[in-house]
């Protein structure tokens, strides 16, 4: 999370981070982000659940899945959750 945030800020973007899916939803309600990178392995609400919640309330948002533990099963779940460009994950 910290490395991605630093990299984005070094490239000139504004980055906001959250330690959990629940915290991310609080941040989204206060100041929505329109592009985001969501870890699939989050404490509490996982990345797929978070993606579904974001897609429900902010359908124009662009969430990308990030994980170090991808499997083909998770790829199908990511597609179902509404992540962008899951085909590129194969």
DSSP notation for the chain: -HHHHHHHHHTT------SSHHHHHHHHHHS--SEEEEESS-SSS-HHHHHHHHHHH-TT-EEEEE-S---HHHHHHHHHHT-TTGGGG-
Question: What pLDDT is attached to residue 81?
Answer: 84
What pLDDT does residue 76 have?
75
Q: Is 6 exposed, middle or buried (0-12, 13-18, 19+ CB in 10 A)?
A: exposed
pLDDT for res 72: 56
- Considering the entire predicted model, what is its pTM? 0.80
36-75 pLDDT tens trace: 999 888 889 988 999 999 999 999 999 988 877 666 567 7
């Amino acid at each position: 999370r910290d490395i991605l945030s630093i990299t984005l800020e070094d490239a000139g973007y504004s980055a906001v981070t959250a330690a959990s899916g629940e915290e991310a939803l609080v941040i989204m309600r206060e100041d929505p982000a329109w592009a985001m990178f969501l870890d699939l392995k989050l404490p509490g609400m996982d990345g797929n659940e978070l993606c579904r919640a974001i897609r429900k309330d902010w359908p124009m948002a662009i969430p990308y899945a990030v994980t170090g533990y991808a499997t083909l099963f998770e790829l199908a779940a990511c597609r179902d959750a509404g992540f962008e460009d899951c085909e590129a994950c194969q």
